[in-house]
């Protein structure tokens, strides 16, 4: 699946949950997206939930900003770097992120980064419209 297809499908799942939570306070919405609650109440939000598995090893994982507003991608490629195509990168160059380099491609590896999964970060950037927060993620505008 391409980045853009996953991104749009994920955003639509997020919007459906937000519609359900429209009468909740911002704080209640953020609490709702805590990993343990999401596994129990939104099992289709993430394929890892089926195995009760986290994408990031963090006890207080919050899934509100899954897909990270700092992730940049372009399914056609962002740029050429020598003989490889860069498809994704971190706009804040998180010290905990890395790159996965293949034979002819480079993708951002976010597995070690917790930035968007901490509630203080979510509260700082919180908007009820996930696509509004993520508007700079997709470089194919």
Report pLDDT for 141.
43
Each domain of the chain, given as residue ranges in start order, spans 3-133
Tokens of 10: 């994920």
Burial degree of 68 (CB within 10 A; 0-12, 13-18, 19+): buried
Q: Report the C-alpha dihedral over residues 123, 124, 129, 134, rounded to 10 degrees.
A: -120
DSSP lists the bridge partners of residue 3 as: none
- How far is 66 from 46, CA to CA, in rounded Å? 10
| pTM of the predicted protein model | 0.88
* Mean pLDDT, rounded, for 63-73: 93
User: What is the model's pLDDT at position 131?
Assistant: 86
pLDDT of residue 133: 86
Tokens of 16: 């459906």
Q: Is the pLDDT of residue 113 over 60?
A: yes
Average pLDDT over residues 3-13: 91
């Amino acid at each position: 699946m391409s980045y853009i297809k996953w991104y749009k499908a994920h955003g639509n799942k997020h919007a459906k949950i937000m519609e359900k939570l429209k009468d909740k306070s911002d704080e209640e919405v953020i609490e709702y997206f805590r990993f343990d609650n999401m596994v129990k109440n939104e099992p289709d939000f993430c394929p890892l939930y089926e195995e009760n598995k986290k994408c990031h090893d963090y006890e207080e994982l919050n899934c509100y900003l899954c897909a990270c507003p700092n992730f940049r991608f372009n399914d056609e490629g962002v740029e050429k770097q020598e003989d490889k195509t860069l498809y994704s990168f971190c706009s804040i160059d998180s010290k905990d992120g890395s790159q996965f380099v293949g034979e002819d491609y480079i993708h951002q590896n976010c597995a070690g980064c917790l930035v968007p999964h901490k509630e203080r970060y979510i509260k700082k950037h919180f908007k009820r419209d996930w696509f509004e927060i993520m508007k700079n993620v997709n470089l194919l505008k």
